[in-house]
Amino acid sequence: MTTWHSDTCGCIIDFDDDQILPNGRFKVRKVIQQCPDHSTPDISGHDDLYDTSLGDNQRKNVLLGKMLEAHPELADINEAGGKVLKKDIDYIHSYTGKGKNRVLEVEFAGPNFVFAKKHKDKIKEISDTEFGAGKVVVK
Ligand SMILES: [Zn+2]
């Protein structure tokens, strides 16, 4: 069993890591904390809560990963050879909305970095492809 703490909301969920559901998520054993933003009638049951909370959380991680691939000027290479966001650039993200309709708001900012139209266009392109229209807004 593993306990998952979302870093984008207050949800804390215990799941079975040897039981995978048809949607690819692990089976929830126990909800320890259900955050206010995910305490809505459109979320039915613990597995749906986990799917929704984890999906929101992964959206900001997937978007960052794809942005680092698309725009090398955002990235440094770490010791393992992976791409990480440059230290002096911030990936600022927050969510609006509730339940299954939360919208991710993002921007990149830094003292020596210009958040340009090409970055904003790429965010929209990645988001529309990966998550569907309207799931991510550029600040
Ligand atoms: Zn939550």
Task: Name the pLDDT band for 1 (thresholds 50, 70, 90).
Answer: confident
Cα–ligand 1 centroid distance for 51 (angstroms)? 10
Cα–ligand 1 centroid distance for 84 (angstroms)? 26
Positive or negative, the CA dihedral 21, 125, 133, 42 is: positive
Cα–ligand 1 centroid distance for 101 (angstroms)? 12
Cα–ligand 1 centroid distance for 34 (angstroms)? 6
Matching residue, tokens 């691939």:
69
Question: What does pTM read for this prediction?
Answer: 0.91
Q: Nearest Cα to 59, choosing from 95, 23, 33? A: 95
Instruction: Tell me: pLDDT of 62 over 90.
Output: yes
Q: Token digits for 35?
A: 């955050």
Backbone angles phi, psi at 99, to 5 degrees: 60, -135
Instruction: Tell me: pLDDT of 105 over 90.
Output: yes
